[in-house]
C-alpha cells in the first residue's frame, strides 16, 4: 500500500468521534496499531514531542477515574498538546445549576479541539457527540463502552503475537457488568479464528443475548465451569475484577469476588511459556502479587504503557496530525 493511500486511510479518523468499538473495522484497528507503533518508535528516538502542538483537549470527566484520566492527560502532554481538565464536575457549578449535558459540551467545545469524556451514565458520550461539532472520544460511560481500553488490550496482544486473529484465550471475572470485557469480545469478534474461554461465577456470566450476538459475529465462545478446564495452549489469560459497587449485598460480593485467582500454582498447572497474563486494573486480589515479576505478566507494564500510546495514536489521527 502506498504512502498516499495510507494517508487517505488515516483520513477516516479525521475529526471523527470515537464512542464505540462498533465504529471500527479490522482495517481501522490496524491503522491504530500501526500509528501506535509509529509513535512508540518516534518517542524512542526522542522525537514526536510536538505532534499535538497547538492542540487543546478538554478532559471532561463526570466521574472520577485516576488511571484513564492520567493516561489521556499524559498522552496529550507528552506529544506537546495542552489540556483543560475537568474532573468530577457533577458536583460543580454548571451541572448543579441545572445545565443540560448538551449545553455543557457545546460550551466546552468553543475552547477545545477535541473532547475526551467520561460519564457514569451509559449513552452520555453519544449525546455529547451529537451536540458537539468538536470530536468526542468516549473514555468510559457507565456500563456502556470503553473503546480505548479494548484497543490497548488488542495492541498489547498484537505486539506480542504479531496478530489479533486465530488467538485462543481465557476471559475471567465479571462478564455480566464488565464493559471492558464486552468491548474486548466485540473487538476479537472482528478478526477471524479467535476462541475465547469464559470463566465467571454463575451470577456474573455473560448474558445469553450477548453470547448469541457475539457468536453470530463468528467468534467461538466456550463457557468453563472451573479453572481446571482452562486449555493449556492459550495465548492469553485476561482476568478482570469483580466490581464491589455492582452488589447490593456485600456478603454476596465477598462470596464471589475471589472465586478465580491467578496463582503461581494455577499458572504452572494450566499455563504455558508463550502466554501472557493481562488485567485492565485495578485488581483487588484476582492476580497473586507473586505473578507481578513474571515476564508473562503485562498488566502493570505493557498494557498501561500501551494505554497511553494508543490514546496518543487515536488523538493524533483524529486531529489529522499523523
Which residues are at the interface with a second copy (CB under 8 A)? 46, 49, 53-54, 56, 58, 63-67, 70-71, 73-74, 77-78, 82-86, 89, 91-99, 103-104, 106-108, 110-112, 241, 243-245, 281-284, 300-301, 304-305, 307-308
Q: Cis omega (within 30 of 0) on the bond before 282?
A: yes
Catalytic annotation, residues: 67-68, 97, 118, 146
Smaller CB distance to a second copy: residue 27 or 96? 96
CA 279/CA 287 separation, integer angstroms: 8
Question: Contact 256/131 with Cβ under 8 angstroms?
Answer: no
- DSSP code at position 299: T
Smaller CB distance to a second copy: residue 105 or 221? 105
Main-chain phi, psi angles of 9, to 5 degrees: -70, -45
Output the smallest distance, CB 76 to a second copy, in A.
9
Output the smallest distance, CB 61 to a second copy, in A.
10
In angstroms, what CA-CA distances link 232 with 61, 173, 214, 266?
Answer: 41, 19, 24, 11
Smaller CB distance to a second copy: residue 76 or 187? 76
Smaller CB distance to a second copy: residue 85 or 195? 85
Output the smallest distance, CB 56 to a second copy, in A.
6
From the list 21, 36, 3, 19, the residue with the least C-alpha distance to 317 is 36
CA 173/CA 162 separation, integer angstroms: 26
The enclosing H or E element of 128 equals: helix 124-131
Output the smallest distance, CB 54 to a second copy, in A.
6
Smaller CB distance to a second copy: residue 37 or 95? 95
List all residues 6 or more positions away from 38 whose beta carbon is below 8 Å from its beta carbon.
Answer: 313, 322
State the DSSP string of 251-262: HHHHHHTTSS-B
Strand order in the sheet with 82-87: 82-87, 56-61, 114-119, 136-141
Q: What is the CA radius of gyration of the chain?
A: 20
Output the smallest distance, CB 2 to a second copy, in A.
29
Amino acid at each position: 500500500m502506498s504512502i498516499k493511500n495510507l494517508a487517505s486511510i488515516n483520513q477516516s479518523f479525521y475529526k471523527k468521534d470515537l464512542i464505540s468499538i462498533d465504529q471500527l473495522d479490522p482495517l481501522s484497528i490496524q491503522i491504530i496499531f500501526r500509528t501506535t507503533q509509529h509513535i512508540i518508535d518516534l518517542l524512542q528516538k526522542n522525537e514526536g514531542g510536538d505532534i499535538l502542538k497547538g492542540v487543546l483537549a478538554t478532559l471532561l470527566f463526570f466521574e472520577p477515574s485516576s488511571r484513564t484520566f492520567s493516561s489521556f492527560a499524559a498522552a496529550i502532554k507528552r506529544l506537546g498538546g495542552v489540556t483543560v481538565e475537568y474532573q468530577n464536575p457533577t458536583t460543580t457549578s454548571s451541572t448543579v445549576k441545572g445545565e443540560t449535558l448538551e449545553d455543557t459540551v457545546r460550551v466546552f467545545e468553543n475552547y477545545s479541539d477535541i473532547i475526551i469524556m467520561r460519564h457514569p451514565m451509559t449513552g452520555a458520550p453519544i449525546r455529547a457527540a451529537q451536540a458537539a461539532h468538536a470530536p468526542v472520544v468516549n473514555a468510559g460511560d457507565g456500563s456502556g463502552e470503553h473503546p480505548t481500553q479494548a484497543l490497548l488490550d488488542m495492541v498489547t496482544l498484537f505486539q506480542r503475537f504479531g496478530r489479533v486473529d486465530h488467538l485462543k484465550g481465557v476471559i475471567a471475572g465479571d462478564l455480566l457488568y464488565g464493559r471492558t470485557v464486552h468491548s474486548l469480545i466485540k473487538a476479537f469478534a472482528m478478526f477471524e479464528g479467535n476462541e475465547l474461554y469464559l470463566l465467571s461465577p454463575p451470577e456474573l456470566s455473560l448474558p445469553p443475548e450477548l453470547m448469541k450476538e457475539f457468536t453470530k459475529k463468528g467468534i467461538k465462545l466456550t463457557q468453563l465451569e472451573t479453572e481446571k478446564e482452562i486449555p493449556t495452549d492459550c495465548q492469553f489469560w485476561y482476568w478482570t475484577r469483580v466490581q464491589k459497587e455492582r452488589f447490593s449485598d456485600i456478603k454476596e460480593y465477598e462470596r464471589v469476588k475471589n472465586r478465580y485467582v491467578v496463582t503461581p500454582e494455577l499458572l504452572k498447572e494450566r499455563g504455558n511459556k508463550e502466554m501472557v497474563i493481562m488485567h485492565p486494573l485495578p485488581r483487588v486480589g484476582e492476580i497473586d502479587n507473586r505473578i507481578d515479576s513474571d515476564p508473562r505478566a503485562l498488566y502493570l507494564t505493557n498494557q498501561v504503557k500501551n494505554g497511553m500510546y494508543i490514546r496518543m495514536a487515536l488523538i493524533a489521527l483524529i486531529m489529522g496530525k499523523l
